Amino acid sequence: MNALVEAALAGLAPSSKRKYRPVFTSFLEMVPLEEAKPIHVRIWASKREEEVNRRTLKQQLYMLSRLFKVAGRKDLSEEARALAKEIRVPPPLPKVNEDLLKTYEEMDEILSTAKPLQRAAIMMLAETGMRVGELVSLRWEDVDLNGKRARVRGKGGKFRYVYFTERTAELLGELPKNGNGKIFPVTDRTIRRWVSELLKTHPHAVRHAFAVWFLSKGGNPRVLQRILGHSSLRTTEIYLDLAQSLVEREYRKVAGRG
């Protein structure tokens, strides 16, 4: 058993070996490899599920497949990988900078020294939750300044509408029309640099902050799903707990003054 474990660990970094070794050992202590059948992989996983979360179990099944592959047990390796693929793991909670949320009310002041194109770009990100790639692809024909909305081409070539306020409409209206028809004739990297310099964060953090802000104000998750361009409501719902936590903390703070 030790020789097989060491062979399966060969080539891994020391930190990885420390993670893989107990996983290999736990399976081999349950059943000798020569007696193991695919059903034993599922039995092992059901016991393991009582000790670790689903994300960790999924990772450990992939670890086991390495052991089985080295041992020449293709049947067990395929079973471990198939079972790992069956495990549905929710996406990790996005990290939301709460200081960024607080700046929403002070955005005009924060951007007061920025150039018109910078101000318009960052306000569009903050008020619509757009991705950077979607922002730099926007053309004048996509924007309705009177209706205060923009038609955005998202992932998979799908179109959706996003909405903005009068202050952003005014900022856009002040921009010059350039020859290529794009509202923001700059690169993704330029937008990221502007956000880093002016908001001290990155564009996707602004997108996360928009989502939490929208829900904390009572916004409907299904509406947010359409605004953000998520294909699944489940992706959007990961923001609900964050928004609720924000609302509760704000309530506790205000209620504590009474």
For residue 199, give the nearest of 101, 95, 127 by alpha carbon.
101
Domain assignment present for residue 181? The answer is yes
Cβ burial 202-230 (10 Å sphere, 16+ → b, else e)? ebebbbbbbbbbbbbeebebeebbebbbb
Give yes or no: residues 204 and 80 share one domain. Answer: no
Give yes or no: residues 71 and 104 share one domain. Answer: no
Catalytic center residues: 131, 155, 204, 207, 230, 239
> pLDDT by residue (tens digit) across 49-70?
888 888 899 999 999 999 999 9
What is the distance between the alpha carbons of residues 44 and 101, in angstroms, rounded to a whole number?
45
Question: What is the residue range of 132's domain?
Answer: 98-255
Q: How many domains does the chain have?
A: 2
What is the distance between the alpha carbons of residues 211 and 87, in angstroms, rounded to a whole number?
27
Q: Is the model's pLDDT at 79 over the cut of 60? A: yes
Average pLDDT over residues 201-227: 86
Res 2: pLDDT: 79
Question: What is the model's pTM?
Answer: 0.60
Residue, of 236 and 71, whose pLDDT is higher: 71
Res 111: pLDDT: 87
Listed residues 86, 118, 142: the one ending a domain: 86
Domain assignment present for residue 80? The answer is yes
> pLDDT by residue (tens digit) across 2-41?
788 899 999 899 999 999 999 999 999 999 999 999 999 9
Give yes or no: residues 172 and 211 share one domain. Answer: yes
105 band by pLDDT with thresholds 50, 70 and 90: low
Mean pLDDT value across the chain: 86
Give yes or no: residues 102 and 77 share one domain. Answer: no
174: number of Cβ within 10 Å: 11
Give yes or no: residues 125 and 81 share one domain. Answer: no
Q: Do the beta carbons of residue 16 and residue 23 sit within 8 Å? A: no
Listed residues 58, 86, 114: the one ending a domain: 86
